[in-house]
């Protein structure tokens, strides 16, 4: 028990020495950083050491999930998150805590140098403590990275389903990439919203960029077409490649009620014709007007 | 008792559903609408559901059966302004309402009705001439 109080006391007594050595180590070991970043690191280091000392004096050093460690954990969480976002590697982030080992060991050595038992006890405690905190840093770093990844996935989902306006009353939705249920849901929602917003009578779903069409994807397409029809818009499917046509027939999917065309241009022509419009060559039109 | 108003516009009837449809209300509408079609000799019915945010299978089926009844009474039905979420729900419920005309808004729905009625009339005229 005496040793447990020992580590906290040592940390408190020699914190000035520890922080100095620690900052030196961080500056030497890490990557080259700007003056503002260095200031930030100094500030973070001081705050963390303060929290560490306070917690070590108050409670046990072998359970870092206790309430007295909340402040230290919070600082580490913030630090890991900000480092993960600004592109530090995992080891660079973890080394924030691990580089504290040497100065702490040095301080412990100076304090208990004459008493091997106390010394080994304190060193062991310090190791366990810093390892736990280091692991926490890595975990937090990873969590932040995962958040970034899932957010990017979400953004990709939204980005990858743009609804474009081809003509007055004609919308197109070029689909690129594999369609799964989640994505199709977003595609469907986006398209239907766009139909309402632009009051378009025709929507063309172009699946040139969809590598595989299975029964599920075909089902989703049919549902989208049916939903658009219920809202009062005509939905055409274009960009069906030969392989996909073969797959659709082999799978026995019934696309008979849907207008399908090989290319977007063909589908566009159909949409124009159905809405009573036409695109003609200028000379022809002038000739027609002259008559 | 709560009722959904049915407005007469020329030879068309206009129904705007602005409250949450419950089953009783739907049945009353069905009764009122069929008797109004007969009374006014209406040629077309326009049902605006743009403010309807929720449907269940009953309401979906009811829309379909109203269209069927109107056709028996020689009136075209067009459902306009269905919300995307409502459309998705109906499709998921397996109600794709193949027989119903749909349009994006009242304006387009009116145009579709007028066109359909004119077509029907021309066809009838042709029949008489023959």
| ipTM computed for the complex | 0.77
Tens digit of each residue's pLDDT (9 = 90 or more) over A123-147: 888 888 888 888 888 888 888 889 9
Mean pLDDT over the full length of chain A: 84
A233–B contact, CB cutoff 8 A: yes
| Distance in angstroms (rounded) separating the CA atoms of residues A105 and A17 | 12
- Residue B42 · residue B12 · CB < 8 Å: yes
Q: In terms of CATH, what superfamily is A164-290?
A: STAS domain (3.30.750.24)
A50-69 mean pLDDT: 77
Inspect the interface and report whether the beta carbons of A230 and B102 lie closer than 8 Å: yes
Residue among B64, B72, A35, B68 at smallest CA distance from B82: B64
Q: Span B18-41, mean pLDDT?
A: 89
Distance separating alpha carbons of residues B115 and B51, to the nearest angstrom:
25
Of A228, A162, A161, the C-alpha closest to A200 is: A228
**Domain pair A2-153 / A164-290, same fold:** no
Chain B partners of A199 at a C-beta cutoff of 8 Å? 104-105, 108
Q: Do A189 and B84 touch (CB under 8 A)?
A: yes
Give the pair of three-digit tokens for residue A40.
């930030």
Across the interface, whether the CB atoms of A228 and B87 are under 8 A apart is answered yes
Spans of all domains in chain A:
2-153, 164-290
CB spacing of A195 vs B90 below 8 angstroms: no
User: How far is the C-alpha of B121 from the C-alpha of B130, rounded, in Å?
Assistant: 14
Of A19-33, A102-116, B34-48, give the lowest mean pLDDT range.
A19-33
CATH 3.30.750.24 fits B6-129, yes or no: yes
Q: What is the pTM of this model?
A: 0.62
Q: Say which of B80, B81, B91 has its CB closest to residue A227.
A: B91
Cβ atoms < 10 Å from Cβ of A115: 13
Would you give the distance in Å from CA A173 to the centre of its chain? 25
How far is A190 from B100, CA to CA, in rounded Å? 24
From the list B84, B91, B105, which residue is nearest A226 (CB)?
Answer: B91
3-state SS assignment for residue A168 = coil
Q: What are phi and psi of A202, to 5 degrees?
A: -130, 140
Answer whether residue B85 shows pLDDT above 50. Answer: yes
Q: Give me the mean pLDDT over the A70-88 stretch.
A: 84
Considering the domain A2-153, what is its CATH architecture?
Answer: Orthogonal Bundle (1.10)
A188 → closest Cβ in B88, B90, B96 = B88
Tell whether the model's pLDDT for residue A211 goes beyond 70.
yes
CB contact under 8 A, A227 and B84: yes
Which pLDDT band, with edges at 50, 70 and 90, does A269 fall under?
very high
In angstroms, the separation between the Cα of residue A218 and the nearest Cα of chain B is 14
Helix axes A101-112 and A2-13, enclosed angle (nearest 10): 110
């Amino acid at each position: 028990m005496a040793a447990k109080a020992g580590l906290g006391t040592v940390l408190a007594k020699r914190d000035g020495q520890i922080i100095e050595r620690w900052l030196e180590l961080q500056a030497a070991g890490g990557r080259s950083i700007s003056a503002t970043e260095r200031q930030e690191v100094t500030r973070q280091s001081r705050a963390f050491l303060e929290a560490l000392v306070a917690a070590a004096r108050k409670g046990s050093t072998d359970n870092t999930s206790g309430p007295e460690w909340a402040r230290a954990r919070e600082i580490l969480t913030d630090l890991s998150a900000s480092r993960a976002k600004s592109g530090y590697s995992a080891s660079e982030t973890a080394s924030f805590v691990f580089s504290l080992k040497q100065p702490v060991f040095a301080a412990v050595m100076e304090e208990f140098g004459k008493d091997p038992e106390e010394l080994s006890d304190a060193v062991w405690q310090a190791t366990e403590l810093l390892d736990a905190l280091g692991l926490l840093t890595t975990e937090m770093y990873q969590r932040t990275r995962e958040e970034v990844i899932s957010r990017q996935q979400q953004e990709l989902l939204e980005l990858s389903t743009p609804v474009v306006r081809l003509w007055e009353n004609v919308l197109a939705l070029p689909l690129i990439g594999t369609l799964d249920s989640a994505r199709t849901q977003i595609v469907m929602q986006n398209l239907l919203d766009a139909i309402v917003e632009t009051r378009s009578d025709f929507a063309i779903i172009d699946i040139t960029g969809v590598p595989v069409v299975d029964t599920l994807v075909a089902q989703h397409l049919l549902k989208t077409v049916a939903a658009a029809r219920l809202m009062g818009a005509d939905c055409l499917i274009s960009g069906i490649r030969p392989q996909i046509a073969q797959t659709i027939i082999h799978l026995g999917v019934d696309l008979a009620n849907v207008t399908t065309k090989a290319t977007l241009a063909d589908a566009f022509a159909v949409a124009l014709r159905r809405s009573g419009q036409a695109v003609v060559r200028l000379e022809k039109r002038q000739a027609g007007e002259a008559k | 008792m709560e009722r959904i108003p049915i407005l007469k516009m020329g030879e068309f009837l206009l129904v705007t559903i602005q409250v949450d449809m419950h089953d009783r209300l739907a049945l009353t509408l069905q009764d009122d609408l069929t008797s109004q079609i007969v009374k006014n000799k209406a040629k077309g019915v326009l049902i605006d559901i743009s403010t309807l945010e929720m449907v269940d299978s009953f309401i979906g089926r009811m829309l379909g059966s109203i269209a069927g009844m109107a056709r028996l009474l020689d009136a075209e039905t067009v459902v306009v302004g269905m919300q995307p979420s409502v459309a998705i729900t109906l499709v998921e419920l397996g109600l794709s309402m193949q027989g119903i005309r749909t349009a994006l808004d009242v304006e387009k729905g009116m145009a579709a009705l007028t066109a359909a009625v004119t077509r029907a009339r021309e066809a009838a005229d042709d029949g008489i001439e023959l």
